Amino acid sequence: EAQVTQNPRYLITVTGKKLTVTCSQNMNHEYMSWYRQDPGLGLRQIYYSMNVEVTDKGDVPEGYKVSRKEKRNFPLILESPSPNQTSLYFCASSRSGGGYVTQYFGPGTRLTVL
Amino acid sequence: QKEVEQDPGPLSVPEGAIVSLNCTYSNSAFQYFMWYRQYSRKGPELLMYTYSSGNKEDGRFTAQVDKSSKYISLFIRDSQPSDSATYLCAMRGGTSGSRLTFGEGTQLTVNP
């Protein structure tokens, strides 16, 4: 089954404790992206990757890091989480052709930073 | 001001009603216009998309784009309880590269 998986699905942590949210896709997609979803603000892009070892900032990259060492994986790293990073996070992937319109989203990770 | 504006609702309709969902935008360079559907506790999934202006129909769903007014719409005919979800418009084009710009989403409930 074609899918994007994220782990963990739920996470409660404390300010300053480094964490990583994993994302993996099995569709051989070149393009991967991280979004956060907040009430009143909708989905906003954090970082994206056009291919292995190629990453770039989205709209709200502050406080986040990413890496793309393998085509299927695109982890999101919060080195020193703060309460304003409490949000619902989605990883997405798509093939590079077709205008990037068909993005496949993971099930989401709900993060709470105390 | 947001690049894409979408009324968050909530919108509640009886089963069988025609639903109209809308977004306005300010970036005239947008060329791809998408509608994503998001069920509760799930990730968004693409419902349909339109390139440039015009209409596109897929079963009970019709997407319309009016670039002159910077206005897009999604119509749902004969709405069903299974259509209850949040509908997000998304757009890309111009200098945005691969980035999609999403609206806030409209929460729709179809009552049996």
pLDDT tens-digit readout, A25-55: 999 999 999 999 999 888 999 999 999 999 9
Q: In angstroms, what CA-CA distances link B36 with A77, B39, B46, B74?
A: 27, 10, 4, 10
pLDDT of residue B97: 73
Q: Which residues of B touch A9 (CB under 8 A)?
A: none
Low-confidence ranges of chain B (pLDDT < 50): none
How many residue contacts between A and B have a Cβ separation below 8 Å?
57
Of A15 and B97, more confident: A15
Which range has the worst mean pLDDT, A5-9, A10-14, A100-104, B91-95? B91-95
- Kindly determine whether residue A100 and residue B103, on different chains, have CB atoms separated by under 8 Å: no
Task: Kindly state the percentage of chain A with pLDDT values over 70.
Answer: 97
Q: Three-class SS string for B1-50?
A: CCCEEECCCCEEEECCCCEEEEEEECCCCCCEEEEEEECCCCCCEEEEEE
- Kindly determine whether residue A42 and residue B102, on different chains, have CB atoms separated by under 8 Å: yes
Interface check A61 vs B, CB under 8 A: no
Task: Kindly state the percentage of chain A with pLDDT values over 90.
Answer: 86
Region A76-103: mean pLDDT is: 91
Q: Which of residues 26-85 of B touch A (CB under 8 A)?
A: 32, 34, 41-46, 49, 51
In this structure, the number of other CB atoms found within 10 A of the CB of residue A18 comes to 10
Nearest C-alpha neighbor of B90 from the set A66, A21, A33, A112: A33
- Kindly determine whether residue B41 and residue A108, on different chains, have CB atoms separated by under 8 Å: yes
Nearest chain B CA: its distance from A103 CA (Å): 7
- Kindly determine whether residue A107 and residue B103, on different chains, have CB atoms separated by under 8 Å: no
Helices and strands, number each (H, E), in chain B? 0, 11
In this structure, the number of other CB atoms found within 10 A of the CB of residue B2 comes to 14
Task: Specify the pairing of strand A19-25 against strand A4-7.
Answer: antiparallel
